[in-house]
Structure 1
């Protein structure tokens, strides 16, 4: 296990350098998960790209900050991690809130971003009321109280079978996240709005979403793509909010095709 101390505490990360790499891919995880959601694409791409993945603040093994933690602080964490690893430019692939962190880095430090892969995310996710209700429920009843509702947003009915060990593992991963970290990240999403700023993104960008995503649906991700100049959009059939887990081969093929076309 590798940890890096930032100005806000330790981040748990993995760095897999590749000789003769086409570039460096950085993966940023979603709300209620840790960096293991990227296992499949990392395994498929690490022979061609250097890889960085990390548990965003207050998730997985990264340390907690017992105070409000806005999106700007999540972006700062990513900047400090790249600086510590001496990575001057990277391809940032973020899922859900990870996609908002990726967008934020592209706005605040465009020279550090070579391309963006924005997965199941948006320029503005949900409403203030939605996130306030989510925060209240977590604080009053814990994460287990919303388990089934979250899993319905994350995965298709076909995937959500008790006989599927990967699904059982994802349920355990969600339930073992820290409720305070989860609610603080909900607040960061609540307060972030990149509706105007997305037009400033100038790097090659792919927006991708599962067709059964109930958290950030196809219409939202298409709207995000429409607001980013010269971006591409891809729809993954029979997948929910986390296609890198539910449809890893298709997800990885889409990423590979985009990178080969736009960065060659």
Structure 2
């Protein structure tokens, strides 16, 4: 039987993961997933582990007040209140998208600037200011917060196990930053899925996920793999049109709730 074996949320884009047992879904995917982002203060361009590897050691968790709690080794924890949807708007750029979103304020900026080592701002995206998903995929009204292109990423546990066998050592699932991990499928079976249902929620499988250097960063230590694994091995059998593919991007059809252990049904 296919089932949902793990759920992960990333409140801050490129920050540490948060393992969950259950969570709701809204128009932007998992509630609270990648709704916050760090940007260069001068340019407004987004920051990720691709350029700032230490972000893997930055914890940013939702707090009871609806805001974010920042913490990292050697830094005092900071509670950041949720800014209003139209407050302190800042122009930011994420890939080819430019948008105006609420800035989290100077106290948060001071904290993240000290952590990153250069002037940095923390921003939040409310639903009404979200981006449209990557052109040519999905529907015109599909929305995404600060994820690279789509609200959700699914990976089969069998795919990771196959990759680890080929590399010759275990690879951590969190190198690939999935939201949904599926147990019980053959390696790369998810490549063939077009529509699935988990619990009562249906999902469209819209695009294979092209992987980058971020996967070579150990999520536990923030150190890069000297042998560039897993990209080195993935390139030998998962490269297509210049992209190295691993995992599937999804869009959820409406709201609902997910819980670890729920069955997955292939609809198409």
| TM-score in terms of structure 2 length | 0.23
More strand by share: 2
| TM-score in terms of structure 1 length | 0.24
Larger radius of gyration: 2
The higher-RCO structure (CA 8 Å, 6+ apart) is 2
